């Protein structure tokens, strides 16, 4: 509870018994959630940082010792790390860009459907409910040279999953399929805030559908679009399940999360693996900070209200 200590200077003297007991109750009610969240996130990340400063390899437990920033030096000077960062960025940018377009179309369809709206929403949401591992297996078997329907349909002679470009296309399609409904829902929340009267007024003034979309809908939805982009970018950046199921990072699709997993759980090198973990955390924080700076510029209306 000490993490949420009262900001000094607030009318402490004038507090009635009722305000005081309300404050006490409030702090008591949030305490379990706060304590648990700190225990399961702050503690491990600090522990990860401590581990990252040590030579700690479970195969040689007696050789553990404090080595400062050496692990970071090893990771940051390895070409593997940088190429994995690049692979992750390619997948992130491609999936989020495609999803933004498809998600917007889907949100418009969910919002404006003139009949069967409930059915459209329900069916469009199905991929959201499918386990990512299941979606990845379905798409992987669909692409596989012998058993899949896609190579048959496209008349491919070679195994698409044996090539780098084929693997990327397959992974990106699988991710886009699975997460576009989530993107669409976040955008749908923003669409619902655009008043119909504005569209009516613009239509009376002779604006085309296209003009109304770009001049009315998009500007008013900007906060929702930024929130959706932030959520999905951070989510896409930690992509693990799909890549792991497709080929565990073969054919140049290894992402930073796969690298961290391999270091930690296959090579049991906790020191190096923790350095990778901490660096991923830092990258995610940087991406979030860039977006949140963008919010400040664009999200004044419709943002957080307390």
Partner 1 sequence: MTHVTARERSGWSAAILLITVVSLVPVLWIVSLSLKDPSTIGDGSFLPTKWSWTNYDGIFKQGIFTDALRNSIGIALISTVIAVAIAAVAAYAIARLDFPGKRLILGASLAIAMFPPISLVGPLYNLWRNIGLYDTWPGLILPYMTFALPLSIFTLSAFFREIPWELEQAAQVDGATPFQAFVKVIAPLAAPGIFTTGILVFIFAWNDFVFAVSLTSTGAAQTVPAAISAFPGASQFTQPIGSIAAAAVVVTIPMVLIVLLFQRRIVSGLTAGAVKG
Q: Does 114 interact with partner 1 (rule: CB under 8 A)?
A: yes
Q: Which of positions 127-156 make contact with partner 1 (CB under 8 A)? A: 127-135, 137-139, 141-142, 146-149, 151-152
Q: If binding is defined by CB under 8 A, does position 204 make contact with partner 1?
A: no
Helices 218-237 and 164-191, axial angle in degrees (round to 10): 140
User: Of 117 and 215, which has the nearer Cβ to partner 1?
Assistant: 117
Q: Give CA 305 to chain center in angstroms.
A: 24
**Among residue numbers 41 through 60, which ones bind partner 1 (CB under 8 A)?**
41, 43-45, 47-48, 51
CB of 207 to partner 1, least distance (A): 18
91 binds partner 1 (CB under 8 A): no
Q: Which residues contact 244 (CB under 8 A, 6 or more apart)?
A: 136, 258, 261
Residue 117 DSSP class:
H
**What SS3 state is found at 254?**
coil
Paired strand residues for 57: 269
> Smaller CB distance to partner 1: residue 139 or 168?
139
Shortest Cβ 211–partner 1 spacing (Å): 19
Minimum distance of partner 1 from residue 125's CB (angstroms): 5
Give the integer Cα–Cα distance in Å for 150 and 296.
Answer: 45
> Within positions 245 to 274, which residues make up the interface with partner 1, using CB under 8 A?
245, 256-257, 260-261, 264-265, 270, 273-274
Q: How far is the CB of 13 from partner 1 (least distance, A)?
A: 16
Tell me if 125 contacts partner 1 by CB under 8 A. yes
C-alpha–C-alpha distance, residues 180 and 99, integer Å: 5
Sign of CA dihedral 111, 112, 118, 119: negative
């Amino acid at each position: 509870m000490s993490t949420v200590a009262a900001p000094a200077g607030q009318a402490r003297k004038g507090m009635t018994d009722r305000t005081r007991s309300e404050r006490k109750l409030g702090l008591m009610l949030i305490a379990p959630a706060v304590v648990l969240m700190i225990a399961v996130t702050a503690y491990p990340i600090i522990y990860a940082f401590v581990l990252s400063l040590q030579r700690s390899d479970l195969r040689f437990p007696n050789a553990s010792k404090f080595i400062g920033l050496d692990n970071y030096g090893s990771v940051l000077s390895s070409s593997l790390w940088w190429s994995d960062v690049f692979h992750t960025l390619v997948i992130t940018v491609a999936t989020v860009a495609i999803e933004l377009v498809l998600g917007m179309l889907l949100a418009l369809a969910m919002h404006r459907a003139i009949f069967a709206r409930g059915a459209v929403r329900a069916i469009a949401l199905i991929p959201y409910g499918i386990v990512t591992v299941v979606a990845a297996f379905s798409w992987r078997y669909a692409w596989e040279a012998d058993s899949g329907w896609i190579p048959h349909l496209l008349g491919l002679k070679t195994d698409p999953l044996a090539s780098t470009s084929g693997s990327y296309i397959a992974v990106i399609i699988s991710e886009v399929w699975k997460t576009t409904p989530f993107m669409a829902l976040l955008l749908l929340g923003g669409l619902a805030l655009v008043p119909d009267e504005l569209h009516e007024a613009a239509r009376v003034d002779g604006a085309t559908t296209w003009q109304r979309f770009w001049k009315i809908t998009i500007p008013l939805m900007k906060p929702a679009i930024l929130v959706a982009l932030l959520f999905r970018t951070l989510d896409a950046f930690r992509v693990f399940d799909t890549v792991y199921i497709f080929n565990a990072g073969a054919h140049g699709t290894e992402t930073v999360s796969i690298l961290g997993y391999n270091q930690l759980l296959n090579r049991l090198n906790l020191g190096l693996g923790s350095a990778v973990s901490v660096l991923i955390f830092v990258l995610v924080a940087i991406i979030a900070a860039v977006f949140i700076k963008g919010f400040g510029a664009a999200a004044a209306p419709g943002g957080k209200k307390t």
